[in-house]
Amino acid sequence: MNALTLRHATAILPCSLLHDARIEIALGRISKVVPESANPVEADSIDLQGAYLAPGFVDIHVHGGAGADFMDGTPAAARTACHAHLRHGTTTIFPTTTTGPFERIKAMIEAVRTISKEAGDNCDSLDISLPAIPGIHLYGPYFAADKCGCHEVSGRRDPAEPEFRGYFESGFVRIATCAAELPGAGAFYDAARAAGCLITCGHSNASWAEMRSAFDAGMRHVDHFWCAMSSVSSLRPRLGTPMQAAMEQFVLMTREMSTEVIADGCHLAPELLEFAYRMIGPDRLCLVTDASRALDCPPGRYKFGHFETGSDFESDGHVGHAPGGGLASSVMGMDHMVRIMKRDTSASLPEIIRMATLTPARLTGMADRIGSLEPGKFADLIVLDADAHIQHVMRSGRFVF
């Protein structure tokens, strides 16, 4: 791999913009991020003419795209979905399971692992048409029955040791979700901690006390804030009075907790995005796509989860709708989420990019390799125009698009 220099970029650093920046790349890694100087450049160089240069996005919660759902369970489907997200600027992806039988979830893990080897681990990329795939997000099946949302309810269950051992033994689960109130959640969190996962609670109607014991077992993150999550009012029918604090209060009050938002402009109103940014902050808040297979597809009816046995939803081209009137995940890529945060919140561009890059990289233990424009990190980069539309995507120092 040859050395390459990107010149006259507006580099989006974690806390600031570096105007007229020069970024040198060698052997697939960033070697220098410096102000442009008059000195001649020896290596091949590309003039970005002031365009934004950012680290590639890191998506920790994503179900599919371009017609494929990771739960389809084939390498071809996983490849299709991953490739679609790379086009939207995601250079590191954690394919996400949903509810379904053990065999389907196992098939999904194996299919994704197969293509992850083709994608390479950045330092030795074999196929740059794929994002890096460090592992999967085991999201379903351990959801609370009353918080399944658009996921197939018949495919949910309580965590059982022999089953979840079967997933963790793959060594490929990097993020692990379980609703905190389920019987067996403690044992699940223990196994997830032993496997080195980011442990998260989602699709849950957990109380403060249940969140507290989950936290003691290593849980540190909550999936898609405000979606399929307990609130003071949702706990009242379950636990009566006095009214009790819920997941929302637990995340806001506990500095060690992180969470994520689906900033597609359809799930959360602008004031909620602004609230999340200001109250939780860019170092504890991730942007996720939570995208379904309907990403980059025309409006119509689709399956969430496996293409035959998943649940039905309808995409209107902006968001997915579940039959009961609820939402069924986003149909947008991470570049869209960045544009919505830019439009709907007071967050600065470096903060918005950080929520889509360095923060999720740090939470998944990858910040030493990816997530910011710093020497030594992999040259997984994106070039954005003034409106944050993707112009180019680079994997390991090579342009993909």
| 181/290 with CB nearer Zn ion | 290
By CB under 5 A, is residue 290 in contact with Zn ion? yes
Tokens 């995601």 correspond to: 90
| 25/60 with CB nearer Zn ion | 60
Q: Min. distance of Cβ 96 from Zn ion in angstroms?
A: 6
Give the interface segment with Zn ion, choosing from 28-36, 82-90, 258-266, 288-296 (CB under 5 A): 288-296
Per-residue CA distances from 86 to 56, 333, 398, 400 (Å): 9, 9, 13, 9
| 54/247 with CB nearer Zn ion | 247
| 52/70 with CB nearer Zn ion | 70
DSSP 234: H
| 24/69 with CB nearer Zn ion | 69
Q: Min. distance of Cβ 15 from Zn ion in angstroms?
A: 30
| 4/288 with CB nearer Zn ion | 288
> Hey, how many other C-beta atoms are within 10 angstroms of the C-beta on 226?
17
Q: Min. distance of Cβ 227 from Zn ion in angstroms?
A: 6
Q: Is 189 helix (H, G, I), strand (E, B) or coil?
A: helix
Q: Min. distance of Cβ 35 from Zn ion in angstroms?
A: 41
- Look at residues 273, 222, 290, 227 and name the one whose alpha carbon lies nearest to residue 252: 222
Q: Min. distance of Cβ 7 from Zn ion in angstroms?
A: 40
Distance from C-alpha of 277 to C-alpha of 280, rounded to nearest angstrom? 6
C-beta of residue 44 within 8 angstroms of C-beta of residue 5: yes
Q: At what angle do helices 161-168 and 102-119 cross, to 10 degrees?
A: 10
Q: Is 14 helix (H, G, I), strand (E, B) or coil?
A: coil
Tokens 């109380």 correspond to: 207
Nearest residue to Zn ion, by Cβ distance, number only: 290
| 248/290 with CB nearer Zn ion | 290
Strands 173-177 and 136-138: parallel
> Hey, how many other C-beta atoms are within 10 angstroms of the C-beta on 14?
18
First-last CA distance in the chain? 17
- Look at residues 302, 294, 304, 290 and name the one whose alpha carbon lies nearest to residue 99: 304
Per-residue CA distances from 150 to 3, 41, 109, 340 (Å): 47, 54, 21, 23
| 72/290 with CB nearer Zn ion | 290
| 290/344 with CB nearer Zn ion | 290
Distance from C-alpha of 330 to C-alpha of 3, rounded to nearest angstrom? 38
Give the interface segment with Zn ion, choosing from 259-267, 289-297, 355-363, 369-377 (CB under 5 A): 289-297
| 156/354 with CB nearer Zn ion | 156
Q: Min. distance of Cβ 115 from Zn ion in angstroms?
A: 20
Give the interface segment with Zn ion, choosing from 168-176, 290-298, 319-327, 330-338 (CB under 5 A): 290-298
The footprint of Zn ion on this chain (CB under 5 A) covers a number of residues equal to 1
Q: Min. distance of Cβ 150 from Zn ion in angstroms?
A: 7
- Look at residues 392, 294, 401, 384 and name the one whose alpha carbon lies nearest to residue 53: 384
- Look at residues 251, 317, 319 and name the one whose alpha carbon lies nearest to residue 286: 251
Q: Min. distance of Cβ 203 from Zn ion in angstroms?
A: 6
| 10/330 with CB nearer Zn ion | 330
Q: Min. distance of Cβ 147 from Zn ion in angstroms?
A: 9
Distance from C-alpha of 379 to C-alpha of 376, rounded to nearest angstrom? 9
Looking only at residues 28 through 87 of this chain, which bind Zn ion when binding is defined by CB under 5 A?
none
Q: Min. distance of Cβ 69 from Zn ion in angstroms?
A: 11
Question: What is the x/- site pattern for Zn ion, positions 247-286, by CB under 5 A?
Answer: ----------------------------------------
Q: Min. distance of Cβ 262 from Zn ion in angstroms?
A: 8
Residues 6+ away with beta carbon under 8 Å from 257: 215, 220, 221, 222, 250, 251, 284
- Look at residues 174, 112, 185, 171 and name the one whose alpha carbon lies nearest to residue 142: 185
Instruction: Give the residues lining the site for Zn ion (CB under 5 A).
Output: 290
